[in-house]
Amino acid sequence: HLAAPCAGCHGNNGNVGAGNAVLAGMDANYFITQMLAFKDGNRPATVMHHHAKGLNVDEINLLASYFSQQKRVTNIALTPQKLKADHEN
């Protein structure tokens, strides 16, 4: 699958917890613009320019379509819980 290498940094189906861009539900045109900027070096990056340079325009378009169709999952904050020992009421 073309998007498999993306999961390492951007999470399954483009839903990353924190730190990197959430790709799921991203506008396809925005995705394409950003990937082309990585590809031609107009957008600085640590590793994305390497990934983008390995993709042709058709592959970038396919990835844009794929990620735009994924459901964005928002992280739900966990509620603190107070646990009781078996002998407490």
The pLDDT value recorded for residue 87 is 72
How many CB atoms neighbour CB 88 within 10 A? 6
Computed over every residue of the chain, the mean pLDDT equals 88
Torsion over CA: 50, 53, 56, 57 (sign): positive
Taking each helix axis from N to C end, the angle separating 57-68 and 28-40, rounded to the nearest 10 degrees, works out to 140
- How confident is the model over 23-51, as a mean pLDDT? 95
Q: Residue 85's pLDDT band (boundaries 50, 70, 90)?
A: confident
Q: What span, in angstroms and rounded, lies between the C-alpha atoms of 36 and 49?
A: 9
Q: Residue 84's pLDDT band (boundaries 50, 70, 90)?
A: confident
Q: What tens digit of pLDDT does each residue of 50-82 get?
A: 999 999 999 999 999 999 999 998 765 556 667
